[in-house]
Structure 1
Amino acid sequence: MTASRTCFQMRGMDAYASQGHGCRLRRRDATARLWLALLALWLAACQTTPREPSYQPPVPPPGMALIPGGTFVRQDDAGNSRLTTIAPFFLDRTEVTNAEFRRFAQATGYQSEGRWTLYATPERDQHPVVAVTWNDAAAYARWAGKRLPTEAEWEFAARAGRPTAIYGTGGAGDTLDNLATFGRIAVDPRRMPLRGIQTAPVASFPPNPFGLYDMAGNAAEWCADWFDAGYYAVSPARNPLGAAFGRGRAIRGGSWNDRADYLTVTRRYGLPPGTITFTLGFRCAADAQKKTTSNGRD
């Protein structure tokens, strides 16, 4: 083979090799461009896909506080206890006042079973309504689009996240030092016939950590439940609704006329639903979400 022919063949092989190398480079470039295009599409999708909204707690209606719900040890004065879980709910910040109950009665023509008008003089518009029966309280709650709180809800709200709470009070510590609406002492005393000093205007003293006023003292409060002294031993673990029947409706919180031991978060008792007394009022609750008891009852 001549030198010239050999040189020609080598140049041909070099050209072929260069052509193959160029093809490989073009394929690599195309692959890289494809990956870049896919990456750009993915980034665009990330920017346009809506993010999951963060949890927004429900907004309480005017005059109510959101009670966040949770699990706590429910107790009574007999030493019975029950681990209980409560769903979030709304609760009136104050007890229902004379002025509010009067608006209800005037708007509906409701004929009360109680004697609330005896204590609802104009200067006492902002005092809690008292001398109303359980049926009166339930009727007002329905008119307002609310309901009465269960005993479990009431106790959870009074404790306000404090496992060792004694009273449902606010201010520094957990004492009655700054709570004058018990034991016949009131913030603006007004003598009534044959009785001593009466209630105080609602929210006269600091709220508890949940923003609730007068969870101890002022007026005792009707709850939704039928009262059963042994209910804690058999109550559902979630959102208990109270006994199926009973002779009295549950009462919580103590009043201006009670000893201090009636104002604790564990003190519970019941009275017939038709009871009329100048120490007994109520506040309303409302659902913040659908809830069920552990036995499936809505």
Structure 2
Amino acid sequence: MKKIYLVLGVALISACAGNPGKQGTTAADKDSLNKMVLIPAGSFAMGADDSTGMPDEYPKHTVAIPSFWMDEHEVTNKEFAQFVAATGYVTTAEKPISKEELMASLPPGTPEPDSATLAGMTLPGALVFTPPDHAVPFNDISQWWSFVAGTTWQHPEGPNSNIHNRDNEPVTQVSWLDAQAYAKWAGKRLPTEAEWEYAARGGLSGKIYPWGEEALTSGKPKANTWNGNFPYHNTKTDGYYGLAPVKSYSPNGYQLYDMSGNVWEWCEDWYDAAYYVQGEKGVKAPAGPVTANDPDDPGQAKRVIRGGSFMCSDEYCRGYRVSARMKSTPESGLANLGFRCVRSADAK
């Protein structure tokens, strides 16, 4: 079901699930997909490393992780195009919604929109980053997000945009459901939240970023984030205004690229704001909570997203820290949200 709503400073749009189409992939397809890196088994302290984390990043707790394989970079437009060509898959953003689905997503008692408004609200599309040219209040996300009909993974900034010559940029405007379908086709899966953070740390202990503790703005660019004043002025100090091609910056200690910035990445887990408090500590390979819990938006069940994006900055969003947690409904897609896959080390 497609739902339109606002959550924790991020505008989200959702759509009904796409058709998974044919399953499986050929050997040639597999050979051309994202290289995978073997992440060694180990234990680590999961959660915020200093006092600047959000409440859902505490308490810090020890987690054991078996060895697993992880894509070295985010899934690209080229790779997702191979999947669509092989299966005929239709993504969530490409499907319209019904009046009933729309009304079910709105607060109880909301009057039904007039026919003209309703027609616009049920079109296929997604939210696009449309920044102003001046400072705006951070509590009004409509100042830099707009719903644009015709927005899809192939037209990520609206129907007049395209992904020509952007093969190596991360695919965006894909939902958790879309990411799941791709992972199944590729013989992989999405990472658990614990696997994602363990891998992002790259073997470092107690560090704030994948590269250590050096400030994001010190030395050469380390990740694709927002430079300047969000959302109206980006100095492009890191070399990019929006998305960057994968592998544009140095990898972490496990030779994984873009574990910080560029696009948020879907994880397998349901999001529970109190999960760390409720006894995850000491668990081996935690699979996450069995149900979702977002006190900021209790009516919507959400999945975890990690890593921050090109829209994160110190003054607005510090999601590029390895412990930072965010969430979105499984049906949602965004212009700054993608994914990468993993495979268990013992998987056949």
Is the TM value for this pair above 0.5? yes
- SS state of the match for residue 63, structure 2? strand
Structure 2: gaps (5+ residues): 1-32, 94-151, 157-161, 227-233, 293-300
Match of 1:182 among 215, 222, 225: 225
Shift of 1:106: 0.7
- Would you say 1:112 and 2:91 are equivalent positions? yes
- Would you say 1:262 and 2:316 are equivalent positions? no
The separation in 2 between residues aligned to 1:131 and 1:179, in whole angstroms, is: 24
Q: TM-score, normalised by structure 1?
A: 0.70
The separation in 2 between residues aligned to 1:219 and 1:62, in whole angstroms, is: 16
Match of 2:168 among 88, 107, 126: 126
- SS state of the match for residue 116, structure 1? coil
Determine the structure 2 residue equivalent to 1:288.
345
8 Å CA contact retained: 1:186, 1:256 = no
- Would you say 1:241 and 2:282 are equivalent positions? no
Determine the structure 2 residue equivalent to 1:223.
267
Per-residue deviation, residues 110-161 of structure 1 (Å, max 9, x unmatched) = 0111321113512111000011000001100000000000000000001112
Structure 2 vs 1, CA of residues 155 and 174 (structure 1 numbering), >3 Å: closer, same or farther?
farther
Per-residue deviation, residues 76-119 of structure 1 (Å, max 9, x unmatched) = 43331111000000000000000000110011000111321113
Q: For residue 41 of structure 2, what is the amino acid of its counterpart? A: G
Determine the structure 1 residue equivalent to 2:304.
250
Note the aligned Cα RMSD (angstroms): 1.9
Structure 2 vs 1, CA of residues 85 and 214 (structure 1 numbering), >3 Å: closer, same or farther?
same
8 Å CA contact retained: 1:169, 1:175 = no
- SS state of the match for residue 139, structure 1? helix
8 Å CA contact retained: 2:223, 2:260 = no
Q: For residue 87 of structure 2, what is the amino acid of its counterpart? A: T
Structure with higher strand content: 2
Q: What stretches of structure 1 move > 6 A for 4+ residues in a row?
A: none
Shift of 1:275: 1.3
8 Å CA contact retained: 1:256, 1:279 = yes
8 Å CA contact retained: 1:199, 1:219 = yes
> Which protein, 1 or 2, shows the higher relative CO under an 8 Å CA cutoff with sep ≥ 6?
2
Determine the structure 2 residue equivalent to 1:13.
none
Q: How many residue pairs end up in the alignment?
A: 221
Q: For residue 36 of structure 2, what is the amino acid of its counterpart? A: M
8 Å CA contact retained: 1:186, 1:200 = no
8 Å CA contact retained: 1:165, 1:174 = no
Determine the structure 1 residue equivalent to 2:4.
none
Q: For residue 216 of structure 2, what is the amino acid of its counterpart? A: L
Per-residue deviation, residues 239-280 of structure 1 (Å, max 9, x unmatched) = 000111211000100000112421101110211111121000
Shift of 1:62: 6.4
Mapping of 1:26-175 within 5 angstroms? 63-76=35-48, 77=53, 78=55, 79-114=58-93, 115-119=152-156, 121-169=163-211, 174-175=214-215
Structure 1: gaps (5+ residues): 1-60, 190-196, 291-298
8 Å CA contact retained: 1:169, 1:215 = no
Determine the structure 2 residue equivalent to 1:203.
247
- SS state of the match for residue 157, structure 1? helix
Structure 2 vs 1, CA of residues 161 and 140 (structure 1 numbering), >3 Å: closer, same or farther?
same
Q: For residue 241 of structure 1, what is the amino acid of its counterpart? A: A
Determine the structure 1 residue equivalent to 2:336.
279
Shift of 1:169: 3.7
Structure with higher helix content: 1
Q: For residue 91 of structure 1, what is the amino acid of its counterpart? A: M
